[in-house]
Amino acid sequence: MTKIISSPNCGNSPKMEFLKEFNIAFAKRDVAFITDSVTDDINWNIIGDKKIEGKEMFTVELEKMKSEKVSELVLEQILSHGKEGAVNGIMKMQDGKNYAFSDFYVFQGAKGTKIKSMTSYVIGV
C-alpha cells in the first residue's frame, strides 16, 4: 500500500488534477493508466540518466520500474498553464531510499491531458 500525501489544492484545474492522478499512478506502478496518458511519440528525458522515445520504449521502462516499490509519495507542488505542467515532491521507497523529483510536462495541446514529453530530475536524498 502506497501512502499518498498531496499538499496542492488542484481546485478547478482539470490538468492539475490529472497530474496529481498521473503521479499517484506512477507511484503505484499503474502501467496501464500511465501509458494511456501519453502520446505514441512520447519523449521522456531523465536528466543525467537516459532518454526514452516512443510509447513502446516508454512502456518497457515502466515495466522495469515495477519491482521498485514506493511506500510513500509526497506531492509538494503541482503547476499547470496552457500546454505545460510541473510536479515536484518526494518518493520514499520500500527499500529505504528516498528520491526528490521534479517533472516537467508538455501536453499534446492546451486542451486535453495527453502528455507529449516529460523531463525528470531525480536526486537521491
pLDDT tens string 3-28: 988 877 767 788 999 999 999 999 99
Domain that holds residue 103: 3-124
Quick check: 109 pLDDT over 90?
A: no
Regarding pTM above 0.85, the answer is yes
DSSP characters for 39-102? EEEEEEEETTTEEEESHHHHHHHHHHHTTS-EEEEEEEEEEEETTEEEEEEEEEETTS-EEEEE
Angstrom distances, CA of residue 41 to CA of 1, 37, 49, 105, 108: 32, 12, 20, 14, 10
The CATH number given to whatever domain includes residue 66 is 3.10.450.50
| Residues 45-83: tens digit of each pLDDT | 999 999 999 999 999 999 998 888 999 999 999 999 989
Q: How many domains does the chain have?
A: 1
Characterize the bridge pairing of strands 3-6 and 38-46. unpaired
**C-alpha span between 7 and 31 (Å, rounded):** 24
Largest CA distance in the chain: 39
